Structure 1
Amino acid sequence: MPRINAAAILFHGWATRSENGIFGGSSYLWVIGDAAWLAQNIWDHYAYTKDKTYLKERAFQILKELCKLYEELRDRNR
């Protein structure tokens, strides 16, 4: 199975490349911690605008799915 497919399956699409070289290349290490960092922007947008429609229709579902992933990983490692 190609590495990109393995990361997509194991992390439900929430993995990103962890390293970028000075010449633009990246390694094959996949990291899920970056997902929380990226999702912070989604929350910051809501916190700044207080747009409940945005929260209900877009942000909540994304944040919920990310939380499910972290709960699943927590349970896997018990």
Structure 2
Amino acid sequence: MIQYYYTKKEWGVVMEKEKLKILEELRRILNNKNEAIIILNNYFKGGVGKSKLSTMFAYLTDKLNLKVLMIDKDLQATLTK
């Protein structure tokens, strides 16, 4: 396993490159609106922001005029309250 150590400035450059890759892939996916996209937000640990992330993602995809179906399997039912 290779480990990389970055300074704070270098880490920012690495993260910007990763963000660009993610944005390019997202644009590619969103341009093909005939396909269903299934995203599972599944963490077993509590308090990691599952409901917040899901809610924000649904909000943003709605703003892009995409149809969104959210299924809340959380016992606390945070999304459906």
Superposed pair shares fold, TM > 0.5: no
Instruction: State the structure with more CA Rg.
Output: 2
Q: TM-score, normalised by structure 1?
A: 0.34
Q: Which structure shows the higher strand fraction?
A: 1
Q: TM-score, normalised by structure 2?
A: 0.33
